[in-house]
Structure 1
Amino acid sequence: MVSYFTIDATGEGTNFQKEISNMMHGFGDNPNPNAATVVLVENVVLQQLRTMLQEAWALCNARGGKAISNYDIIYLMRKNVIKLKRLHDYQIKLDTVDKGRQVPSGTTAETLNSLMLEDDIDPQNRKRRTHIDIIKEVDEFDEVSQIKFDTIDYLRKVRAAKLTESMSFEKYEAYHKARCSSFRSGNQLVKGYAKLERWINPNKELKITMFALEVLCFIAYETVAEIVDAVFLIRQDAKKKNGDPFSKYEGGHFCNPLSLNNAVYIKSGYEGVPAITVAEVREALRRYFSPRTGMNGLFYRNMSLDLPTRYLIL
C-alpha cells in the first residue's frame, strides 16, 4: 500500500497550502489551522489526484484517446452515486457562474491545445459531452436522478450555521472568504485551472483536458472536506464512555435531529474549536485505508494482498 504520510507536495514549487488552510477553516477547523496538518492534507490530496490520473490515463489509452478527459475521471467515480450527484449539482452551479462556460476572448491557441482535446474545441461536441451527460451515460440504473436530498451538503451547512451563530461581522467576513476558497484560481474558465495542472502534472507527462481538470478540482475540494468531516467523527467517538451509549452526546455538542447516526457534532461558537492535529488526520486515514477483514475477522489470511486503490471521496 502506498504511504500517504511521506509525499512531498511542494517539491515542484507549486502548492495549495494557503487554499487548503482556508478550506479547512471553512469546513469547521480553527481560524488558524495547524501548519503541519495543512501540509499533510496537501500531501494526501496530491497523492490521491496523481494516483487517479494514472488510472484515468490507462482508461484513456484503452479507449484510444489522446488526452485524459472528464469521461475518464467520472468513470472512476461511477460506483459512488452520491458523489456523482454532487458533481452533477456542481456543474449546474459552475454553469451559472461562468455564464455558458465560454472560453474568454484573447485565449491563445497554444493554451487551448494544452488544456483541451480537439473534440472539446468543437462547440457541438463540447455541449454534448458535459459532466451531466457523462454522468447519465455511466449511471445505468438512473440512480443519480432519484437522489432528491444532498445529506452531505446539509450537514456541512448545519455545521457552518452552528459556528457562525455568534460571530461578529468581521469574523463572519473572514469565514465567508474561507468558504469561497477552492482549487480553482480566479474566474477565467481556462486559466483558472493552470495552477492545478502545474501541481498535479508538473512535467506535463500527461495530457489533460480542461473539463477533466474541472472534475479534478471538484475531487480535490471534496477530499479536503472528507478529511475534516472524518476528524469531527473521530472527536465524537473520543467522547464515548464504556457502558454509556449516550455519553458522546454530552457537553452541549450539536447533533442533526434527522439522523443521529450520520450527525456532525461540534461545539457551538467560533473561537473554541481546537485546530485539527496531524494525529487526528493520521487516525482518520488509518481507519479509512485499513483493509477489510471479511467474514473471518482477524483470521482473514489475504487481508494484505490485492488491495484495490481507494480514494477518500469514493
Structure 2
Amino acid sequence: MEQTKQKVSFTNEISRMMFGFGDSHAPNPDTVQLVEHITLLQLRTIIQEALKYSTDGATLKGEELVFLMRRDKHKMRRFVKYLQNKKFKGTNPHQIGGMNFDPEEKPKCYLMQFIEKIDETGEFIDLSEVDEVKLEREIRADRMSQVLNEEQYIEFSKARCASFCSKQITMSNLERLKIWIDPIGKITYRLEALEVLAYLAYQTVAEITDYALLVRMDAKYHDPLQHFNNSYYTATMFNSGHKFGAINIDHSRVYTGQDPISIDEIKEVLRRIRSPQGGVLSLGGKLPETHFCFAL
C-alpha cells in the first residue's frame, strides 16, 4: 500500500532528454512539467485503447500496444530497429567481429514475432528506406556536438542516453514507470508491455521537442505562399523549408544563449496536432482515440 502512495516524477529525465533532442542546455522547468503531463496523459490514453484488445480488459501485454502502432509504418519501423538494436546488445562483441556471426542465430523476441505476424505486406520490417526523422535528429545532435567543449560534450552525451528506464530492463527497474502511469494499480502489466510504454514515452518526448523546434523555425522563417507537401512533418503541420538541412542553425547557442522551449511553443504544437492544417484523411471512418498521440 505504501508503494502506491509514492509521488513519482520523471521531470529530471525529461529535462535531460529534451536537451539531448535539441532544447536549451537548461530547459524551462515549467515546460518540462507540461511535457511530462502531456506524456503521461498520452500513455494513459494509449493504455485504455490497448486494453480494448486485451482478453480480460485488465491485463496489458506488449502485443496490444504494438498493434496500435500499425497505422504508421515509419514509427513501426523505428520500433523494429529498436528491437533489433536491443537484440544485438546481448550478443558477444567478439562474435560480431568474427566471420561466424549470424544475425538470425539469436531467437527473435516475442514482439518481433508478433510484428511479422501482422505485417501482411512486409513494410514494417523493411528497413531499406531512410528514416528521415531519425536522420534529422542525428544531424541535429551531430551539429550540436561539434560546437561543444569536452566537458559540455560529456554532459550532452549523458543527456542523449537518458530514458524512462535503465539499460538493463527488468520488472524491478520498470516499477517506477508503472507507479507513475498507474499509481492505483488497477491494471496488470506484463514486462514487455512496460518496456513498450517506456519506448513510447521516450518517443513522445522526442516528437514534442522536434515539433516545438519546428514551431520556432516556423515563426522565424515562415513563407505563407509556400505550399504544404507530403513529408513526415509537413503533411499536417509544417512547411517543407523547415528541413534541418535547409537552414544552417547556430547550434552553439544551445549553451551560449538559446532560449529554452516555451510553454506557448508546446501549446502551439498541441493546437496543430489536434487541428492539422492539411486536414485528416479518415475515409469516412471514426478516428481512433489515439489519433493525436505523438508516439503512434
- Give TM-score, length-normalised by structure 1: 0.73
Q: Could you say what secondary structure the match of 2:136 adopts?
A: helix
- Structure-to-structure mapping, 1:224-239, within 5 angstroms: 224-239=205-220
Provide the residue aligned with 1:263 in structure 2. Answer: 243
CA-CA distance at 1:129 after TM superposition? 5.5
Provide the residue aligned with 2:140 in structure 1. Answer: 159
Identity within the alignment, %: 34
- Structure-to-structure mapping, 1:131-142, within 5 angstroms: 131-142=111-122
Provide the residue aligned with 2:123 in structure 1. Answer: 143
Preserved contact between residue 70 and residue 131 of structure 1 (Cα < 8 Å): yes
Moved more, 143-152 or 234-243: 234-243
Which of 3, 21, 28 aligns to 1:27? It is 21
CA-CA distance at 1:213 after TM superposition? 0.8
CA gap of 1:176–1:242, structure 2 versus 1, over 3 A, is closer
Q: Could you say what secondary structure the match of 1:239 adopts?
A: helix
Provide the residue aligned with 1:213 in structure 2. Answer: 194
- Structure-to-structure mapping, 1:86-105, within 5 angstroms: 86-98=78-90
Structure 1: which 4+ aligned runs deviate by more than 4 Å? 241-245, 259-262, 291-295
CA-to-aligned-CA distance 1:58-80 (integer Å, 9 cap, x gap): 2103xx57721111001111111
Preserved contact between residue 267 and residue 273 of structure 1 (Cα < 8 Å): no
Matched, 1:71 2:63: yes
CA gap of 1:160–1:213, structure 2 versus 1, over 3 A, is same
CA-CA distance at 1:45 after TM superposition? 0.3
CA-to-aligned-CA distance 1:168-203 (integer Å, 9 cap, x gap): 100000000100000003525332211111111111
Which residue identity does 2:173 align to in structure 1?
G
Determine the C-alpha separation between the residues in 1 that align with 2:217 and 2:40: 28
CA gap of 1:56–1:32, structure 2 versus 1, over 3 A, is same
CA gap of 1:67–1:128, structure 2 versus 1, over 3 A, is farther
Provide the residue aligned with 2:295 in structure 1. Answer: 313
Preserved contact between residue 27 and residue 225 of structure 1 (Cα < 8 Å): yes
Determine the C-alpha separation between the residues in 2 that align with 1:294 and 1:236: 22
CA gap of 1:262–1:144, structure 2 versus 1, over 3 A, is farther
- Structure-to-structure mapping, 1:30-41, within 5 angstroms: 30-41=24-35
Provide the residue aligned with 1:194 in structure 2. Answer: 175
Preserved contact between residue 39 and residue 204 of structure 2 (Cα < 8 Å): yes
CA gap of 1:170–1:87, structure 2 versus 1, over 3 A, is same
Which stretches in structure 1 are left out of the alignment for 5+ residues?
Answer: 1-10, 101-126, 246-258, 296-305
CA gap of 1:98–1:193, structure 2 versus 1, over 3 A, is farther
Which residue identity does 2:23 align to in structure 1?
D
Determine the C-alpha separation between the residues in 2 that align with 1:213 and 1:241: 40
CA-CA distance at 1:23 after TM superposition? 0.2
Q: Could you say what secondary structure the match of 2:201 adopts?
A: helix
Determine the C-alpha separation between the residues in 1 that align with 2:210 and 2:147: 22
CA gap of 1:163–1:49, structure 2 versus 1, over 3 A, is same
Higher relative CO (CA 8 A, sep ≥ 6), structure 1 or 2?
2
CA gap of 1:132–1:223, structure 2 versus 1, over 3 A, is same
Which residue identity does 1:141 align to in structure 2?
T
Which residue identity does 2:118 align to in structure 1?
V
- Structure-to-structure mapping, 1:43-54, within 5 angstroms: 43-54=37-48
CA-CA distance at 1:216 after TM superposition? 0.8
Q: Could you say what secondary structure the match of 1:37 adopts?
A: helix
Provide the residue aligned with 2:76 in structure 1. Answer: 84
Which of 8, 15, 25 aligns to 1:14? It is 8
CA-to-aligned-CA distance 1:183-234 (integer Å, 9 cap, x gap): 0035253322111111111111011100011111110000000001001111
CA-CA distance at 1:261 after TM superposition? 4.9
Provide the residue aligned with 1:252 in structure 2. Answer: none
Determine the C-alpha separation between the residues in 2 that align with 1:153 and 1:76: 21
Which residue identity does 1:275 align to in structure 2?
P
Q: Could you say what secondary structure the match of 2:188 adopts?
A: coil
Provide the residue aligned with 1:303 in structure 2. Answer: none
Determine the C-alpha separation between the residues in 1 that align with 2:76 and 2:269: 23
Q: How many residue pairs get matched?
A: 253
Provide the residue aligned with 2:96 in structure 1. Answer: none
CA-CA distance at 1:313 after TM superposition? 2.1
Provide the residue aligned with 2:272 in structure 1. Answer: 287
Provide the residue aligned with 2:54 in structure 1. Answer: 60
Determine the C-alpha separation between the residues in 1 that align with 2:169 and 2:124: 29
